[in-house]
Structure 1
Amino acid sequence: MNIIPKIITTILMSTLLTNLPYDKIDIKKNIPISIGKEQLLHKKDNLITPEQTKAQIELFKQALDEFGATSPEQVISIWVKTEKTRNGVYHYSVACKELKRKIIEDLGAPKDTYWIYGVSSPWLDRYEVISKNKISDTEYIVKLKFFWSTSSGPFNTTENTLKIIQSGDTWCVKEVI
């Protein structure tokens, strides 16, 4: 399952590049450059347009939808990465189809918006699994507690209660209760 973090990183980088205020990106140097819209470019110029990047993000999203966590523990680990990194793609990657639709509804399509959660402070210091109740062989209710810090010291704690289910060969978050 090491492929999921690589796909997520690629999607995030593509999303960030899509939202740069430039007309083209020099992919050899990864440097945004501004050019006149009337100027014609050829493939040999190694430049991509925001439209091409948006299409690529959609392709990465489609690929990401084909993968899933192999256990409830892996779902929890990936879910927490959103809190650690503020990267909403991690939540999306372990969400069930219904929750993925809600994420897109709430945050917008990945090709059109940033999926960044939170700001620079507070940051996640640590988390604990408060409870993990096995409802059946294919369903768990998991309560997570997040401990936040600021430069001034500890901050408020927050909690998520996740309904995690097995869907086919993979596990996903069906809902946040």
Structure 2
Amino acid sequence: MSAENSGTGSGKMRVQLLEKALEPHAPLTAAKAWAEAVKARNGAWQYALLSPELKKEYYDGFTEMNWVTGTSSPWIEKYQVTEGYRVDEELYRFAVEFTYTDSTKATFAAKEYITVRKYEDAWLVAQIERIEAAGEITKLSARAGASEKKIFIEDTGAQNGASKGYDKANVIIGNETRIYKGCTGQELTADDLRAGDKVEVVFTGDPRLMIYPVTAKAEIIRRMEQEDT
């Protein structure tokens, strides 16, 4: 009897051992492995790099995609991984910038932050922030102290299709929106945001108004400092 048909318990152990063999043992190695797995569209590899908490969150999504992520076009041509912030010796945050291309040779940029954490002797991806909108705040539509605020951001760098994110967005800041200083974990408030600030936004999974420009609620906003841009 082959290993594939030798029983559920044996098959499960085989998968667990394969995942164990893929576990990185350094933070930068984990970040680069994640970027390479995304580039390869290999959901099984990505899953092996996730923390136990994220494995539970992402499992159904991976199975629905039959463990193949992304699209055949556009595809990821290259990526760059840079360390954004070191919380302590067991928690690092990295910026991963992907460059996409297609048959027309046009290029598109996409960015995400991944936080890797040490779990025993392995470094695993504990948080993923996919940036959907980034740019300069050109308008704030609520007074200080209001329970819900809205900012309008514009990305001038997206004028030539250089970004896969929204080039303009109405960003709703609710009570559950988290605002941070740059790549750090230092929390800010909506009152700390000013016109002219450069921000990067992760939207919630809530329904969004897709009339251009998009209107959506922010899960995370990062106010980028001069050295981060």
Q: 1:81, 1:90 within 8 Å by CA — same for their partners in 2?
A: no
1:156 aligns with 2:111: no
Any unmatched runs of 5+ in structure 2?
Answer: 130-229
Task: Note closer, same or farther for the CA distance 1:81–1:53 as it changes in structure 2 (3 Å cut).
Answer: farther
Alignment equivalent of 1:167, drawn from 119, 137, 143: 119
CA deviations 1:47-94 (Å, max 9, x no partner) are: x6xx82884653332223434211111111211122221111121121
SS in 1 for 2:114: strand
Q: Structure 1 residues 135-144 or 84-93, which shifts more? A: 84-93
Distance 1:149 1:83 in 2: 15
User: How many residues were matched structurally?
Assistant: 127
Identity of aligned residues (%): 21
Equivalent positions of 1:1-177 (< 5 A) are 52=5, 55=8, 58-67=12-21, 68-108=23-63, 114-177=66-129
Structure 1 stretches of at least 4 aligned residues deviating more than 4 Å after TM superposition:
none
Task: Using structure 1 for the length normalisation, give the TM-score.
Answer: 0.62
Q: 2:83, 2:92 within 8 Å by CA — same for their partners in 1?
A: no
Task: Note closer, same or farther for the CA distance 1:53–1:160 as it changes in structure 2 (3 Å cut).
Answer: farther
Distance 1:57 1:124 in 2: 32
Give the strand-richer structure, 1 or 2. 2
1:16 alignment counterpart = none
Q: CA deviation at 1:129?
A: 2.2
Distance 1:65 1:151 in 2: 34
Task: Note closer, same or farther for the CA distance 1:64–1:96 as it changes in structure 2 (3 Å cut).
Answer: farther
Amino acid at match of 2:5: Q
Task: Note closer, same or farther for the CA distance 1:53–1:99 as it changes in structure 2 (3 Å cut).
Answer: farther
Give the helix-richer structure, 1 or 2. 1
Distance 1:57 1:78 in 2: 25
Q: 2:62, 2:68 within 8 Å by CA — same for their partners in 1?
A: no
Task: Using structure 2 for the length normalisation, give the TM-score.
Answer: 0.49
Task: Note closer, same or farther for the CA distance 1:104–1:53 as it changes in structure 2 (3 Å cut).
Answer: farther
Q: 2:62, 2:69 within 8 Å by CA — same for their partners in 1?
A: no
Distance 2:82 2:28 in 1: 13
Distance 1:58 1:116 in 2: 20
Amino acid at match of 1:62: Q
Q: CA deviation at 1:102?
A: 1.4
